Structure 1
Amino acid sequence: MNGNPVGWFEIPVIDMKRAKDFYASAFELEFEMLEMGPCQMAMFPFDHAQPGCSGALVKGPEYQPAQGGMLIYFMCEEVSARLNKIQAAGGELVQEKMSIGEHGFIGLFTDSEGNKLGLHSRQ
């Protein structure tokens, strides 16, 4: 396998407008909407020329927000500053900025839908 092994993620939502508003405010993003069968998808921005993966907020019959299971980490410039924006947008702090040694820093939060997610930065 060449390149990064993860290419896509989907974050379950209950209320698409609330979730889009939360992520737009917390991460300063704009979304492209797409419908696939019974599912509504709000696509995160993606630049194919850059490394990494992208994904979508998804509302559908098989999608339920969760605190357990997989944990997706969003990259950011600085964890504490982004956690402040997340809390201002209505998210809840789970784990304050914490060093992970030579790998940088992480923090954890819950989004507007109750999903637990993480942040990662080098500083």
Structure 2
Amino acid sequence: MKSPKNTLNWFEIPVNDFDRACKFYSQLFDYEMHSAVMGPNRRGFLPFDPAGDGVAGAIVQGPDYVPSQRGSLVYLNAGDDLNLVLARVADAGGHVEQEKLPVADEQDLGYYAIIRDTEGNRVALHSMR
């Protein structure tokens, strides 16, 4: 069996208030989020390239989805410049928990920051600048 190109191929961020979370992530990434009801769950799809090999994910509201500050930490792509996305966190209703830092001092792996979204989830943002 051939090893997968990426370990991660899909992620879901649990939300309580779908409309509030949709507004937060739409404002954070400056785009219009598309949503769909799939079974008992409502999903809002985060930006992705449907023709590419990248990873996709969604915010999800449903009976088994509970926002948390503990557990897995998802790193979302903040584009070319992390500062641009970080500047929108507070206005979107979130909170910056960890300001921008280099991923590593020894290697050029870019920068990250950790935010708390409107639902109480800890989410990381990553960019090369």
TM-score normalised per structure 1: 0.92
**Among 79, 86, 89, which residue is 2:89 paired with?**
86
Moved beyond 6 Å, runs of 4+: none
User: Could you tell me how far 1:31 is from its partner in structure 2?
Assistant: 2.0
Which structure 1 residue ranges, 5 or more long, are not aligned? none
Corresponding position of 2:9: 7
Identity of aligned residues (%): 39
What is the SS of the residue equivalent to 2:90? helix
Please tell me the root mean square deviation across aligned C-alpha atoms, in Å.
Answer: 1.3
Q: Partners in 2 of 1:121 and 1:51 — Cα distance?
A: 18
Q: Partners in 2 of 1:84 and 1:111 — Cα distance?
A: 14
Provide, for residues 8-59 of structure 1, a one-character-per-residue CA deviation record: whole Å limited to 9, x for no partner.
0101000011000111111112222211221111122332322321111100
Structure 1 segment 43-82 matched on structure 2, within 5 A? 43-76=45-78, 77-82=80-85
Q: Partners in 2 of 1:58 and 1:104 — Cα distance?
A: 28
Q: Is the helix fraction higher in 1 or 2?
A: 1
TM-score normalised per structure 2: 0.88
What is the SS of the residue equivalent to 1:23? helix
